[in-house]
Chain A
Amino acid sequence: MARKLRVWVDQQACVGNAMCEAIAPKVFRLNDNRQSEVVDPAADSEEKILEAAENCPVSAIFVEDAETGEQLFP
């Protein structure tokens, strides 16, 4: 079983570059403001989610282990 993740996007920082949506479209989706929101943190692999976070040009994506609270990104 893959571990559960807590994933969120800082709306103050997000510029709607949408690279996260391109990398993990089942996890991230642009809202009406054209900013990224997490729709389902379990919809793709941890590897893909971390890749999306790393590719955010403004470091707006945060990833944690949902159970231990361990920060996985940044």
Chain B
Amino acid sequence: MVQSLDRLKETASQTAGPYVHIGLTPNFCDIPGVYPVDLGDTMVNDKTKGERIKVKMRVIDGADTPLKDALIEIWQADADGLHNSPSEMRGAADPNFTGWGRKPTDMTTGECVFDTIKPGRVPFKDGRKMAPHLTVWIVARGINIGLHTRMYFSDEEKANDEDPVLARVEHRVRVPTLIAQRDGDTYIFDIHLQGEKETVFFDI
């Protein structure tokens, strides 16, 4: 026998189910008056620094059908590459930018749109700069444990080429699944849950 490490086990995940909106975006699903606003609905205000962008996302299943009951959260750095988080030790992030957004996909079209800013570059563990990216987390009915991925930007080709995380993708043909395409001030990002175009998901 040896000493016990006294570690606990993480609580097991269960699907968010079809009614995730009741808990996380009640105003969106006609439960008004409990919370003044749905958390994560607004990320920016008039004073937020950085380039304003829209990000339009869909989550697509193995039969090429967009999910109409998914919920997506994004987490990102501000324009200078700093996070609005107590764990950010490099400096104070833009107080006019939350860095965190949450949107349900539309019950008819399956789309959701984040109004945000283009993030700055954040250092990797070894100090190299990662390309600008959003951290993305997806839950829905039928998804047993939330899926982590990243969204990079199509007009950051040089930064993407030297990004240490994208460099880890062994099958280079899959790299484009992590890159949103720019159309005016909007980036389009389709997340494919399975099939030939399956998005790269991370075990973080």
* B is bound to A: no
